[in-house]
Chains A and B, each alone.
Chain A
Amino acid sequence: MKIKVIIYTLLLMAFTCQSWAQERVVTGKVTSSEDGSALPGVNVLVKGTSNGTVSDVNGLYSISVPTGNALLVFSFIGMETMEISIGDKASVNVQMKADVKQLSEVIVTGYATQNQRQISGSVAAVKGENIGRVPLASFDQSLQGQVSGVLVQSQSGQPGAPASVLIRGKGSLLGSNSPLFILDGIEITAADFSTLNQNDFENISVLKDASATSIYGSRGANGVIVISSKRGKKGKVKINYDGQFGFSKAPENKLTLMNSKEKLDYELANGNIYGWTPADIARLSAINTDWADVFFQTGKTENHTMSFSGASEKTSYFISGSYFNQSGTVVNTGLKRYTGRVNVESGIDNLTFGINSTFGYSEFTNTSESNTGIATPLNAIRWINPYEKPYTDEGDYTQMVSGQPNALQELLENENLRQQVKAIGNIYLEYKVPVVKGLSLRTSWGGDYTGNDRSIYVDGSTATGAGTPSQKGSFTRQYGNRFRYTGTTSITYSKEITPDHSLSISLYNELVTSNSSSFFFTGYGLGGPFKNEAGITPGNNSNGFIPAVGGDQTDGANGESVLFRGGPSVLVSYFTSINYGFKDKYFLTIGVRRDGSSRFGDNNRYANFGSAGFSWILSDEAFMSGVKDIFNEVKFKLSYGTSGNQSGIGTFQARELYGRGVYDGVSGLIQNQLSNPDLRWEKKSTLNGGVEFSTLSGRLNGTIEYYSSITTDLFLGRPLSLTTGYTSITSNVGEMQNRGIEVSLNSDIVKTENFKWNISGNFTYNKNTINKLLEGQNEIISGLTIARPGESLNSLFVVRYAGVNPANGNAQYLTKEGNVTEVYDPNDRVIVGTYETPYFGGFGTSLGYKGIELSALFSYVLGNKIFNNDRNNVENPAYIFDNLSRDLLTEWRAPGDITNIPRPDNQYRAQTTRFVEDGDFLRLRNIILSYSLPTGLVNRAKLSSVKLYAQGQNLLTFTKFRGFDPEINTGSLAGAQYPALRTVTFGITIGL
Chain B
Amino acid sequence: MKKYIILISGLLIISTSCNNELDLKPFNASETSVAFTNLSSFQNAVLGAYRGLLVAANNAGGSAYANNSLSTPDALADNLITNSQGRGSQLNFHYWNYTPNNTWAALWRDNYAVINRVNAVLENIDKLPDGAQKNNIRGEALALRAMCHFDLVRVFGKAPKVATASDLGVPYVTSTDPTILPSRNTVAETYALLIADMEQAKGLIAADNGVGRLNSKAVNGLLSRIYLTQENWAKVIESSTAAITAGGSNLITSMTNFPNIWKDASNQGILFKIVNLSPNNNITVGVQYSQTGSSGVRSEFSPNFTLYSSYTTTDLRKSVYFTTSAFSGILFNHVAKHFGKTSGNANVVDIKYLRWEEIYLNRAEAYANTNQDPLALADLNSLRSNRYSGFVAGTETGQALKDAIDLQRRLEFAFEGHRFYDLKRKGLSVERTDFGDRSDGTGTKLPANALVLISTSPLFQLPIPQAEIAANPNLIQNPGY
Q: Interface of A with B (CB < 8 Å)?
A: 273-275, 349-351, 399-403, 405, 429, 431, 433-434, 441, 443, 445, 463, 466-470, 487-489, 509-511, 513, 522, 524, 541-548, 551-553, 555, 557-562, 564, 567-570, 572, 596-598, 605, 651-652, 655-675, 719-727, 729, 826, 878, 881
Contact = CB atoms under 8 A, between A and B. Distances in A.
Nearest to B210: A664
Q: Which of B23, B51, B54 neighbours the largest number of chain A CB atoms within 10 Å of its CB?
A: B51
B245 interface: no
15 contacts: A429-B11, A468-B345, A555-B59, A559-B280, A562-B59, A568-B27, A572-B22, A661-B47, A664-B47, A670-B51, A670-B52, A670-B117, A671-B32, A724-B179, A727-B109
B392 interface: no
Contacts of B88: 878
Contact of A467 (B26, B58, B345, B472): B345
Given A548-B279, A553-B29, A723-B112, A596 B24 contact: no
Contacts of A553: 28-29
Contact of B55 (A547, A560, A567, A667): A560
Contacts of B43: 668
Contacts of A729: 178
Contacts of A429: 7-8, 11
B22 A568 contact: no
Contact of A570 (B14, B18, B280): B18
Q: Which of B28, B180, B213, B342 has the most CB of A within 10 A?
A: B28
Interface string B191-222: 00000000000000000001011000000000
Contacts of A727: 57-58, 109, 467
Contact of B21 (A545, A572, A660): A572
A510 B282 CA distance: 46
A672 B61 CA distance: 15
Interface stretch (B289-297, B352-360, B379-387): B289-297
Interface stretch (B169-177, B254-262, B432-440): B169-177
A509 B30 contact: no
Interface string B233-274: 000000000000000000000000000000000000000000
Interface in B146-187: 171, 173, 176-182
A349 B2 CA distance: 12
A663 B21 contact: no
A521 to B, nearest CB: 11
B448 interface: no
Interface in B80-109: 88, 101, 108-109
Contact of A661 (B48, B277, B279, B346): B48
B50 A722 contact: no
A461 to B, nearest CB: 9
A605 B20 CA distance: 12
Contacts of B471: 719-722
B278 A667 contact: no
Contacts of A598: 21-24
B279 to A, nearest CB: 5
A662 B293 contact: no
Nearest to B58: A727
Contacts of A431: 4-5, 8
A510 B19 CA distance: 11
A675 B353 CA distance: 34
B178 A570 contact: no
A403 B296 CA distance: 8
Highest count of chain B CB atoms <10 Å: which of A668, A725, A726, A729 = A725
Contacts, number: 278
B449 interface: no
A429 B249 CA distance: 82
B137 interface: no
A509 B14 CA distance: 10
Contacts of B44: 667-669
Interface string B450-481: 00000000000000010110111001000000
B303 to A, nearest CB: 21
B349 interface: no
Contact of B22 (A548, A555, A570): A570
3 nearest interchain CB pairs?
A544-B343, A725-B116, A668-B47
A371 to B, nearest CB: 16
A281 to B, nearest CB: 15
B402 interface: no
B298 A557 contact: no
B312 interface: no
A720 B473 CA distance: 11
A180 to B, nearest CB: 20
A658 B31 contact: yes
A725 B144 CA distance: 14
Given A598-B22, A726-B116, 16 more contacts: A349-B1, A351-B4, A399-B295, A443-B15, A445-B11, A489-B8, A511-B21, A541-B343, A544-B343, A553-B29, A564-B29, A567-B27, A660-B28, A664-B213, A667-B44, A673-B29
B18 to A, nearest CB: 5
A980 B204 CA distance: 65
B26 A664 contact: no
B400 interface: no
Given A668-B48, A722-B467, A443 B11 contact: yes
B3 to A, nearest CB: 9
Nearest to B276: A664
B328 A441 contact: no
Given A469-B343, A726-B178, A663 B212 contact: yes
A694 B21 CA distance: 50
A575 B415 CA distance: 66
Nearest to B113: A725
A655 B27 CA distance: 13
A558 B26 contact: no
Contacts of A487: 14-15
Given A403-B327, A405-B293, A509 B16 contact: yes
A548 B280 contact: yes
B344 interface: yes
Contact of A544 (B24, B178, B278): B278
Given A572-B22, A722-B471, A724-B112, A652 B11 contact: no
Contacts of A660: 28
Contacts of A597: 22
A351 B108 CA distance: 68
A545 B344 CA distance: 7
A572 B296 contact: no
A723 B173 contact: yes
B363 interface: no
Nearest to B28: A553
Contact of B343 (A445, A470, A664): A470
Contacts of A433: 5
A274 B329 contact: yes
Contacts of A463: 293-294
B275 A722 contact: no
A881 B87 CA distance: 12
Contacts of A655: 26, 29, 31
Given A405-B293, A669-B41, A725-B112, A570 B7 contact: no
Contact of A725 (B4, B57, B59): B57
A460 B90 CA distance: 30
A878 B284 CA distance: 25
Given A560-B59, A668-B48, A657 B345 contact: no
B182 A657 contact: no
A787 to B, nearest CB: 15
A724 B294 contact: no
Nearest to A659: B29
Task: Specify which of B11, B108, B298, B475 lies most central, judged by the most chain A CB atoms within 10 Å of its CB.
Answer: B11
A403 B46 CA distance: 43
A674 B11 CA distance: 39
Given A399-B294, A725-B112, A669 B343 contact: no
Contacts of B112: 722-725
Given A469-B343, A509-B12, A655-B31, A570 B279 contact: no
